[in-house]
Amino acid sequence: MKIVFASTPGQLEKVEELAQYFYSSILPLYFADEDIKEFEKHKVLFTTKEQLENFNTLGDAFRVITSLQTIISILESQDLSDKYSPVFEKNAKTLREFEIYFPFQFSEFVEALRVDNDYISIYSKAANHYLV
């Protein structure tokens, strides 16, 4: 007999939270707002209820969370040396295995870093909040 544990609602929320973080904190470092709008239009990193149901076990949800966190860590460092490429691609493959649309290749982020993005994105989180 094999015992498996179902993924928890908290884990599913974490996947959605990491996807939102990717849009607000990672993509604006590398891409213009027009590009990010296209990513939204094509539902990059969006998860449907059916996809979330594919995370049948605790391990499945954990693999997706870990893959997203690993990709985010690599891209936040902005030190995109070739040594990170295999790790990035392995984790991107994991996301695709769970039918999460992640069309990026490591080389796209390396190339995007070479372009001067010296503007504030509408997708970035606000640095401060005003109460009115």
What pLDDT is recorded for position 52?
67
Q: Is residue 129 part of a domain?
A: no
Beta bridge partners of 6: 57
Q: How many CA atoms lie within 13 A of 102 on its CB side?
A: 27
What pLDDT is recorded for position 131?
47
What pLDDT is recorded for position 9?
67
Instruction: Tell me, rounded to whole angstroms, the distance of Cα 103 from its chain centroid.
Output: 11
The answer to whether residues 104 and 92 touch, using CB atoms and an 8 Å cutoff, is yes
Q: Is residue 127 part of a domain?
A: no
What pLDDT is recorded for position 68?
97
- Number of domains present in the structure of the chain: 1
Q: Is residue 42 part of a domain?
A: yes
Q: Is residue 26 part of a domain?
A: yes
Closest CA to 72 of 31, 22, 8, 1: 22
Residue 68's domain spans which residues? Answer: 9-114
| Strand, coil or helix: 6 | strand
Closest CA to 70 of 48, 97, 89: 89
Q: What is the distance between the alpha carbons of residues 59 and 49, in angstroms, rounded to a whole number?
A: 18
Q: Is residue 88 part of a domain?
A: yes
Q: Is residue 1 part of a domain?
A: no
Burial of 40 (0-12, 13-18, 19+ CB in 10 A): middle
Q: Is residue 2 part of a domain?
A: no
Give the mean pLDDT per block of 10 residues along the chain (132 residues): 58 89 93 93 86 72 94 92 95 93 94 68 54 48
Instruction: Tell me, rounded to whole angstroms, the distance of Cα 46 from its chain centroid.
Output: 9
Q: Is residue 125 part of a domain?
A: no
